[in-house]
Amino acid sequence: MSVKKFKLPNKGLSEKDLFNEMKEKRKEDARWQEGKTFSLVFYPGAEALSVLKKAYLEFFSENALNPTAFPSLRQMETEVVAMTANLFNPTGKTAGSMTSGGTESILLAIKTCRDYYRKKRPDITEPEVVMPTSAHPAFDKGFHYFGLKVVKVPVKNDYLADAKAMESAITKNTIMIIGSAVSYPQGVVDPIKELSKIAQKHKLWLHVDACIGGLVLAFKRQLGKKVPDFDFKLPGVHSLSVDLHKYGYAAKGASVILYKDSELRRHQFFVTTDWPGGIYPSPTVTGTRPGGAIAAAWAIMKFLGVDGYKKLTRDLLDTTDSIKDAVAQIPGVKILGEPAMTIMGMGSDELDVYQIGDHLLERGWMLDRQQNPACLHLTISPAHIEAKERFIQDLRWAVDEARKSSAGKKMDSFQVGLVSTLARVLPKPVTTKLMKAATKATTSKGGAKKSAAMYGMMGALPNKGDVKEMVLTFMDKMFSP
């Protein structure tokens, strides 16, 4: 369909009509309030949500681009950065910025490191980064944007970064190494202590991606539980990213990038002095910076306080333990590795785990599919504290169903990789369409409907090299009317 179909209405709609239309549009949206999603939404409860919304609206119109115009936002941002930094063993010189999200924090860490080494090591003209395969795609994006070469090192059998192999991958051009606390796919803490030593020995920049794990790990530690060192306590750690819009429960558009020393952060800032519009300084990637996101982050941190975060963290860890215990009792599924907190991958040695995912979806549970190895992803958030018993029940049912229908049929791992890539990248409606088309094209015999379609879809897939092109085409479709 062409963009021409959706024109700006000549006459504005009434408020009533507008909200009715929005209500209609969101009918098919994921029901995160009931704990049906395992990523994307971090719901802190009705009371906290109301505080968040009020704070956001209070600063809805303000723009933090110019810190002198709105001293309130400047103060709140500085306080948010400081409150966050204080959870991660800051040095006296630790400094940072608020950003729009984990991706922007990571982009900035990469750019800042690159610019720092340009000055410090001008002899390195083709800088390289060494990172574990488990590191978040935001890094790939950053290296692509900023022109750095990345060397990816496979994780070990326990899904932790292989520090020794990473050290072996260092060349005379390496400037940066990456570790996660925790990694997204399996929720484990990489051996940051070893990586810190390697960074020091080879004079490299170590970035710790604590986007999703930082806050839970910090409060788990404050609860007196064991957490491996991963922050500025380790001298090799140069920068650390922490998302507030995940386990900080802030409104979307809030993350923090921290540097061990404000001297490093200087390389993050951008300023142009010859523009006819005036001198233009910009601390982060974005120009206009929404005041609401800053105010909401500030408000939720002050509203929850250490006690509030500790309580949420304790409840989440308990909920995770219950789900882990339940999975251990269900033959056919298992948690991969030893997740350090509330993020985990659930796989299977005998069943098709994607089929289990299909059945869970029949009952409304949305779990993302992962690959290498095939597993389903669980991010436990406060909505699951209430929902866990229902989830465990439905998981038992889904595993039984998968056992009935799979009858020993186990997908070839290469095909599984392709399908899971597509299923993960593409929005549900597109996957559904694809599957429908594939089902029409193939004759499915027995088995769960969706899985049959999945097999059909695999048959219709081209080789792996074409998958990227296919996904790009789908993206084009997806962002069109």
Ligand X SMILES: *Cc1c(COP(=O)(O)O)cnc(C)c1O
Q: Which of 37, 94, 97, 103 binds ligand X (CB under 6 A)?
A: 103
**Nearest to ligand X of 182, 395 (CB atom):** 182
Compute the distance between CA of residue 220 and CA of residue 465 in angstroms, rounded to an integer.
Answer: 43
Q: Which of 35, 44, 90, 102 binds ligand X (CB under 6 A)?
A: 102
| Tokens matching residue 146 | 């900023």
Residue number with the shortest CB distance to ligand X? 102
**CA–CA gap between residue 72 and residue 294 (Å, rounded):** 10
213 or 347: CB nearest ligand X: 213
Tokens of 40: 């994307």
Binding to ligand X by CB under 6 A, coded x per residue (else -) over 180-199, reads: x---x---------------
**Number of residues binding to ligand X, judged by CB under 6 A:** 13
List, in sequence order, every beta strand (DSSP E) within 121-266: 128-132, 149-153, 174-180, 205-209, 237-243, 255-259
186 vs 255, which CB is nearer to ligand X?
255
Q: Which of residues 31-50 bind ligand X (CB under 6 A)?
A: none
Half-sphere exposure of 292 (CA within 13 A, CB side): 12
Draw the binding track, 251-290, toward ligand X (x: CB under 6 A; -: no contact).
Answer: ----x-----------------------------------
**Which of residues 184 and 230 has its CB atom nearest to ligand X in the complex?**
184
Task: Please count the other Cβ atoms lying within 10 Å of the Cβ belonging to residue 78.
Answer: 16
3-state secondary structure at position 233: coil
The region of 163-171, 207-215, 312-320, 424-432 touching ligand X under the rule CB under 6 A is 207-215
**Per-residue interface string for the shown chain with ligand X, residues 349-368, x marking contact by CB under 6 A:** --------------------
Q: What is the enclosing helix (H) or strand (E) of 242?
A: strand 237-243
**Nearest distance from residue 129's CB to ligand X, in Å?**
15
The correct pick among 111, 136, 193, 450 for binding ligand X (CB under 6 A) is 136
Residue 224 · residue 193 · CB < 8 Å: no
Dist. CA 206–CA 33, nearest whole Å: 38
Under the binding rule (CB under 6 A), the answer on residue 138 touching ligand X is: yes
Other Cβ atoms within 10 Å of 201 Cβ, number: 11
Per CB under 6 A, contacts with ligand X among 422-461 are none
Interface mask toward ligand X for 56-95; x: CB under 6 A: ----------------------------------------
Cβ-contact 72, 270 below 8 angstroms? no
Q: Is the sign of the CA dihedral 227, 231, 80, 383 positive or negative?
A: negative
Specify the amino acid at residue 226. Answer: K
Alpha-carbon dihedral sign for residues 348, 189, 392, 355: negative
Bridge-based pairing state of the strands 174-180 and 128-132 = parallel
Closest CB to ligand X among 103 and 405? Answer: 103
State the binding string over 210-249 for ligand X (x if CB under 6 A, else -). -xx------------------------------x------
Instruction: Report the interface residues with ligand X, using CB under 6 A.
Output: 101-103, 106, 136, 138, 180, 184, 209, 211-212, 243, 255
